[in-house]
Structure 1
Amino acid sequence: MTLYARVKRSTIRSVVTGVVGASISFASCNALADFKEPGKIIAGSDMTFYPYEYMKDNTPKGFDIEFLAGLGKVIGRQTVDVDTRWANLIPGLRGGRFDIINSSMYITADRLKVIDMIPYLKSGDAILSIKGAAYQPKVPEDFCGHKVGSMAGTAWLKPLKKLSKDYCEAKGLKPISISEYPTDPQATQAMLSHAVEVQITDAAVARGIVEKTGHRVVISSDTLIYPVLNGWGVKKGNEEVRQALIKGLKAFSKTPEYAALLKKYHFKAPTAEDIAQLMPKQP
């Protein structure tokens, strides 16, 4: 690059930076963003997690899919959804398979060590049990000595395993028997076939499972378990993509479409207090 080109490029960047908050266009933001393809956001999602992301008639559906599409429209980018199993999402992002992870991923300190994350939703977990069964646990402390099913690689597994050791075994109770499955529906099927007694999953997913199983299962927990933030995953160091999404989220959150989407799925956006309280400290 010639000296003239360097100076010109530096000048352009200075001008763009100077007008942020006044009249910067999303087209300018897109021009600077290090996305894989022009005019697109390529997102990895595990399409087995109703109502966040799932397949219907061979088409991606769900809150996260619609949410990202709305944000993409605001910043002038088409969203491309790549169905990817949960265990492969972070490796796929880090390997450059897609621009972001859009899969109702909980923000944890461990994940922040390897990827950047942008919060967009507050969530938490719930306990599912078979309707009419004698065992109806309310809180994870009730799991001691029982068989619990879960999707593998989820954020709630770490505190559950710690609880088993530090609470159950420390009190002379039997440990929690945790069975992990590649997808959430497989964990549900394990419960329905009595391979496990209960299932722990995201609270919104739990509500969907109750509906999809014709109320053969119920939510036995009374309160939100392990409150947490959901976030988009961005490759470490890809600051331009991260900033583009942050600006897009800010703009999209002011639209009627955003409010209608939250109402449709009975979700709530995280408050500033939620983010301050639940966002893990940067490693």
Structure 2
Amino acid sequence: MRINRILKAAAATAIILASSLSAHAADVLANVKSAGVLKVGTETAFAPFDYIDAGEHAGLNVDLFAEIGKELGVKIEWVALPWEGVLPGLEAGKFDIVAGPATITKARMERYRFTPPIAEATVAILKKAGDEKIAKPEDIAGKAIGAGKASAQLDQLKAFGQKLGKPVEIREYPGNTEAYADLAAGRIAGVANSLPNIAFVAKQRPDTFAVVLPPFGVKAYFGYPGMKDADHASLMDAIDKAMLKIKADGRLAAIQKKWFGQSFDTPDYIKEPAL
């Protein structure tokens, strides 16, 4: 009899725990809806996605998350950090999702859940305007090239540099703004970043910078990372739904054209990243 009571009590506890976990799984979305605020972590030195323009936060992420906020019926609250602190901040619960964006890679997909891609992220080199010594990506051999710390662009630069005859002197920067400043000052010969980013920078300052074509990196895409757990599943589902609607009705393409001068043909989801 006593054993039966213990078994019944254990079964009841398991049911209550399962119910509690199920209810808790919807808590993140429910809390966002209840507060009327979606907290978004980002780095504000990654133009044209996120940057400070005349003291104002601007970029593709600002425009796109404004549309996501409309679809979810919430306001967007931005939390700015250096890039190396953004993903740890997400895991620490400082915000609900990362704008970044981040290159979608196999390693990152094991740890995070990504939204539908927002743009292509293939890596290329930015050089000083008029620098005839770098006509193609392979010409960076033996030269000092910068890239952002903890970035997929840095990883690809390292891999590409190992294939060249002379080692590339790789310099890591906390943000791309610092790397671009060093390039403009002649302290480095180039900066490795995604083609959309450097194309925007070269467009803004054509007398200072130029893009080295073709891109040297593996074809990749940018997405917004969120937590890959049951608690965040409902929130990520809601954001995915909103983003696919924004893509289908042409708003995403219009935002891309505004910031890149062109739109990108991106898949709805990435299941097997090339990186």
TM-score by length of 2: 0.80
Matches within 5 A, 1:115-154: 115-121=112-118, 122-139=120-137, 141-154=138-151
Change (3 A) 1:125 1:162: closer
Matches within 5 A, 1:5-16: none
Task: Give yes or no for contact 2:135–2:212 (8 Å, CA) kept in 1.
Answer: yes
User: Structure 1: where are the runs of 5+ without partners?
Assistant: 14-29
Match of 1:19 in 2: none
Q: Within the alignment, does 1:213 sit opposite 2:205 as a pair?
A: yes
Match of 2:184 in 1: 192
Match of 2:267 in 1: 271
Give the alignment partner of residue 172 of structure 2, picking from 167, 180, 183.
180
Q: Amino acid of the residue matched to residue 133 of structure 1?
A: D
Aligned residue pairs, count: 251
Change (3 A) 1:31 1:182: closer
Residues 22-54 of structure 1 show CA distances to partners (whole Å, capped at 9, x for unaligned) of: xxxxxxxx9872555622211011111111111
Task: Give yes or no for contact 1:203–1:224 (8 Å, CA) kept in 2.
Answer: no
Q: Within the alignment, does 1:250 sit opposite 2:248 as a pair?
A: no
Change (3 A) 1:142 1:119: farther
Match of 1:25 in 2: none
Give 1:196 deviation, angstroms: 1.0
> What percent identity do the matched residue pairs reach?
21
Q: Amino acid of the residue matched to residue 144 of structure 2?
A: K
Residues 129-188 of structure 1 show CA distances to partners (whole Å, capped at 9, x for unaligned) of: 11222312422x3332121111211102223223333x23xxxx3211101111101111
Q: CA RMSD of the aligned region, Å?
A: 2.8
Task: Give yes or no for contact 2:142–2:167 (8 Å, CA) kept in 1.
Answer: yes
Residues 110-135 of structure 1 show CA distances to partners (whole Å, capped at 9, x for unaligned) of: 22233222232222222111122231
User: Structure 2: where are the runs of 5+ without partners?
Assistant: 1-11
CA distance in 2, matches of 1:57, 1:163: 36
Matches within 5 A, 1:1-283: 33=29, 35=31, 38-121=35-118, 122-139=120-137, 141-165=138-162, 167-168=163-164, 173-223=165-215, 225-237=217-229, 238-265=232-259, 266-271=262-267, 275=270, 278=273
